[in-house]
Amino acid sequence: MSEDHVHRVQPAWKKNALIDNDTYLKWYTDSVKNPDKFWGKHGKRIDWFKPYSKVKNTAFDGKVSIKWFEDGETNVSWNCIDRHLKKRGDQTAIIWEGDNPYDDRKITYNELYAHVCRLANVMKKHGVKKGDRVTIYMPMIPETAYAMLACTRIGAIHSVVFGGFSPDALAGRIDDCKSTFVITADEGLRGGKPIPLKDNTDKAIEIAANAGTKVEKVVVVRRTGGKTGWVAGRDVWYHDEVATVKAECKPEKMKAEDPLFILYTSGSTGKPKGVLHTTAGYLVYVSMTHQYVFDYHDGDIYWCTADVGWVTGHSYIVYGPLANGATTLMFEGVPNYPSQSRFWEVIDKHKVNIFYTAPTALRALMGAGDSHVTKTSRKSLRVLGTVGEPINPEAWEWYFNVVGNGKVPIVDTWWQTETGGILITPLPGATDLKAGSATRPFFGVKPQLVDGDGKVLEGVASGSLCITDSWPGQMRTVYGDHERFVQTYFSTYKGKYFTGDGCRRDADGYYWITGRVDDVINVSGHRMGTAEVESALVSHEKVSEAAVVGYPHDIKGQGIYCYVTLMAGEKPDEELRKELVAHVRKDIGAIATPDKIQFAPGLPKTRSGKIMRRILRKIAEDDFAALGDTSTLADPAVVDDLVANRQNKR
Ligand code: WTA
C-alpha cells in the first residue's frame, strides 16, 4: 500500500465478517458486469406483494429515467415491521436515549407495529391519501420514526424538515411540495434547552398560507409539556388521536417506483431542491448497505448519531436498520451534554456494537481531551463509522486509537442525500484502511474521475467525481422539477451523474474525497448552499450585495465567510454585523450562522460583472499571496481593500 496511515484488516475483524476481500472483489465484479443479475438476486432481500420481473431500466442521457424493479409491488413499513413480528416481535426495535441521561425507552417490534398502525389510521381518518405530502418537523423521539413509517404504510410521501430550520425555511418546504398535513411536537429538547417546534410551525403555516399553501391539520406530540399556541379545529394532540383508532392498518400495496419521501437539500444555485426517493430500490439499497458496510449481525446494537432531519437519519437510523430487523438507537441529545463523555457513556449503557457519527463531533470531542473517553469502557464496540464530510487523518487516528483502542475498524462512508445510501466505503472484514480515505466503491457503484473538460482520468488522478451507472438507491427526480434534476446532475458531464465533489484516486485505487467543487459548503457536516446565505443577506434592507464562501475551520470543517456590500449611506459597525447574523439565522436557521462578516465597499468582478469567487475564497483562507491573476478584474483596487480588511488573519 502506497500511503501513510495504513491499517490492515485485523484477524478479529475478518473472523465473523459477512464479506471478506475475495468476496468483495468477486461480488463487485459481478455487480458491475451484470447489474441485472446481481440486483435481481439482492432485490429479494426485501419482501414483495408482487415479485418483479424487470430489474434495471435506467438511462443517464436524454431525459434521464431511473427505474428499478419497476413491475414489483411492496411496502416499506411492512418490510420494516410486519415481516419481523413472528421471529422478533418482542425484540427491541428502537432504543430511545433522551437528552436527559435518566430519560430512556425501549420499543419492541410489536409495539412499533401498534404505534405505526395507529398513527397511519389517524392520518387516514383526517383524509391523508396515497401520494399526499406530509411534513414532519420533529425532535429526535420515537414518534418521529412512527410518523415516517406511518406515511409509508398508507403511501403518503413524507418530507422531514430538520428541527433546526427556521419558520421561513419550514414554510418554503411546506409550500414547495404543497403539503397540507404537518406532524410536529410542542417543543424539542437538546442540551437541556427547549426548541419551540410548535411555535415555529405556527409561524411557518402563516407564511406558507401567504404563499398559497393552506395547512389543514397539525398533529402535535407532547414532548416537554411547554406552552404553545393552539388553533382549534386545525391542531390536534397525538395522544388524543391515537387513542381513538385501531392498532391495525393494512399496508398499502405500492409500486416499486411510487414516491417514498422528499428531502430538501442545498445545491449551488437557487432554493433547496426536493430530492425524491422512491419505494423499492431505495429500501433494497439502504438495507443492503446497512448490513454489509456495518457488518451488521443479528442481535447487534446499532447507533447512528445523525438527526432524522437529514438523509443519514432516514437511511441509517430508520429504514436500513429496521428493514434488517436491527435494534437501532435514537439519541435526542448532543455529544457534550451533560458532559463531554456522553457518547461513550451511552455506548456503555446500551452496549452499543456499531457506532456511526460525523467528523465534526469527533474533532470537537478530541479537543476536549482523551480522559473523557478513556474513563469509559467502550468494550462492546465492534465497528465505527463516519459520514458527512472528509475526516482529517488526525481525527481518524484519534477515533481509531482512543475511541476504538486500536482494535475496531472505521468505515469512512461517502455518500449524499441524492445517492440514498452509501456509495464509497470500506467493508470491515474486507478492506485495508487508510486514514482519510473512503476507500473503494460499494457493489454496483461505478465511480469515475473527470477533468474540467470532461476528459476521463485513469489511474492515479484528481478530478471531479462522477458515477457512470445507476444503483437502486439513487434519487429519481427533483420533486416537481425534472428539468432541474437533469440540469443539476447530468448536464455538467453528459451521460454521467455528477456528484459535486472533488476526489483523488491513489495507486491502490482508493478514493479520497477532497470536498465540494461547487458553491456548496459543508459546515459541521451540514450542507449549505452559499447562494442561500447570500439571498438571506441581500434580503436585509441595508445590504446591497453579498458573496459567501467557505474557509477551513478546525471543528466545523468549513466556516461561513460573508462579504457584504452595504447600501449607499449605511454605516458598517458591530451593531449591524450582529443584526445581519441574526437575520440569516432567522431566515434559514442556526446552522447557517455566519462565522465572519467582512464589510466590503466593492466585490471583485470581471468586466462582465461576474463575482470572482476564487479570489474571495483565497482571502477568506488568508492565502492572498496566491491570488493569481487579477488583471481581468473590472477594478483591481477592490482586492487591496479586501485583503487589508480580511477577518481571518493568521
Ligand atoms: C460530503 C450526507 C467526505 C460530500 C450523507 C457530499 C463526505 C456531501 C463524506 C453530501 C465522506 C459526505 N467523506 N465527504 N465520508 N460523506 N460527504 O447530502 O461533500 O448531507 O457531497 O449527505 O457531504 O451531504 P449530504
d(CA 367, CA 364): 5
- Whether ligand 1 lies within 6 angstroms of the CB of 390 is answered as yes
With cut-offs at 50, 70 and 90, classify the pLDDT of residue 4.
Answer: confident
Q: Is a pLDDT exceeding 80 seen at residue 76?
A: yes
**pLDDT value at position 235?**
98
Ligand 1: residue of 261, 414, 489, 510 to mutate (most ligand atoms within 8 A of CB) is 414
**Whole-prediction pTM value?**
0.96
393 is in an annotated binding site: no
Ligand 1: residue of 308, 360, 510, 513 to mutate (most ligand atoms within 8 A of CB) is 513
With cut-offs at 50, 70 and 90, classify the pLDDT of residue 449.
Answer: very high
d(CA 202, CA 220): 11
- Whether ligand 1 lies within 6 angstroms of the CB of 314 is answered as no
524 is in an annotated binding site: yes
Where do the domains of the chain lie, and which CATH numbers do they carry?
Answer: 6-437 (3.40.50.12780), 524-645 (3.30.300.30)
613 is in an annotated binding site: no
With cut-offs at 50, 70 and 90, classify the pLDDT of residue 2.
Answer: low
d(CA 311, CA 304): 12
411 is in an annotated binding site: no
**pLDDT value at position 628?**
78
Average pLDDT for 369-382: 98
Average pLDDT for 327-351: 98
Number of the ligand 1 atom closest to the C-alpha atom of 265: 18
Ligand 1: residue of 262, 290, 517, 522 to mutate (most ligand atoms within 8 A of CB) is 522
527 is in an annotated binding site: yes
**SS3 at position 273:** strand
Q: 415 C-alpha vs ligand 1 centroid, how far in Å?
A: 5
With cut-offs at 50, 70 and 90, classify the pLDDT of residue 431.
Answer: very high
The residue nearest atom 23 of ligand 1, judged by CA position, is 388
- Whether ligand 1 lies within 6 angstroms of the CB of 325 is answered as no
Q: Is a pLDDT exceeding 70 seen at residue 3?
A: no
- Whether ligand 1 lies within 6 angstroms of the CB of 312 is answered as yes
Ligand 1: residue of 261, 275, 305, 387 to mutate (most ligand atoms within 8 A of CB) is 387
Query: What's CA 45's distance to the chain center, in Å?
Result: 24
Q: Where are the alpha helices (DSSP H) in 369-504?
A: 371-374, 393-398, 482-490
501 is in an annotated binding site: yes
Q: 561 C-alpha vs ligand 1 centroid, how far in Å?
A: 20
**pLDDT value at position 231?**
98
Q: Is a pLDDT exceeding 90 seen at residue 289?
A: yes
Ligand 1: residue of 261, 363, 389 to mutate (most ligand atoms within 8 A of CB) is 389
Q: Mind listing the pLDDT tens digit for each residue in 227-280? A: 999 999 999 999 999 999 999 999 999 999 999 999 999 988 888 999 999 999
- Whether ligand 1 lies within 6 angstroms of the CB of 281 is answered as no
- Whether ligand 1 lies within 6 angstroms of the CB of 414 is answered as yes
Q: 125 C-alpha vs ligand 1 centroid, how far in Å?
A: 39
d(CA 307, CA 323): 19
Mean pLDDT across the chain? 96
**pLDDT value at position 105?**
98
Average pLDDT for 445-456: 97
**pLDDT value at position 492?**
96
**pLDDT value at position 436?**
96
- Residues making up the chain, counted from first to last: 650
Neighbours of 4 (CB within 10 A): 9
Contact 583, 577 (CB under 8 A): no
Q: 416 C-alpha vs ligand 1 centroid, how far in Å?
A: 5
Q: 476 C-alpha vs ligand 1 centroid, how far in Å?
A: 19
Record the cell numbers describing residue 412, joined without a space: 469512512
- Whether ligand 1 lies within 6 angstroms of the CB of 501 is answered as yes
Q: Mind listing the pLDDT tens digit for each residue in 491-550? A: 999 999 999 999 999 999 999 999 999 999 999 999 999 999 999 999 999 999 999 999
Ligand 1: residue of 519, 527, 530, 558 to mutate (most ligand atoms within 8 A of CB) is 527
Q: Is a pLDDT exceeding 90 seen at residue 626?
A: no
- Whether ligand 1 lies within 6 angstroms of the CB of 186 is answered as no
The residue nearest atom 12 of ligand 1, judged by CA position, is 388
Q: Is residue 555 classed exposed, middle or buried when 0-12, 13-18 and 19+ CB atoms within 10 A define those classes?
A: middle
Q: Is a pLDDT exceeding 90 seen at residue 447?
A: yes
Q: Please report the DSSP string for 479-547 in residue order.
A: TT-HHHHHHHHHTTTTTSEEEEEEEEE-TTS-EEEEEESSSEEEETTEEEEHHHHHHHHHTSTTEEEEE
- Whether ligand 1 lies within 6 angstroms of the CB of 513 is answered as yes
- Whether ligand 1 lies within 6 angstroms of the CB of 516 is answered as yes
Number of the ligand 1 atom closest to the C-alpha atom of 418: 18
**Percent of the chain scoring above 90 in pLDDT:** 94
**pLDDT value at position 121?**
98
**pLDDT value at position 627?**
81
Q: Is a pLDDT exceeding 90 seen at residue 324?
A: yes
Q: 514 C-alpha vs ligand 1 centroid, how far in Å?
A: 10
Q: Position of cell 470531542?
A: 365
Q: 99 C-alpha vs ligand 1 centroid, how far in Å?
A: 26
The residue nearest atom 14 of ligand 1, judged by CA position, is 389
The residue nearest atom 1 of ligand 1, judged by CA position, is 389
Number of the ligand 1 atom closest to the C-alpha atom of 386: 15
Record the cell numbers describing residue 113, joined without a space: 407495529
- Say which residues have a Cβ less than 8 Å from residue 504's Cβ, sequence separation at least 6: 449, 461, 462, 511, 512, 514
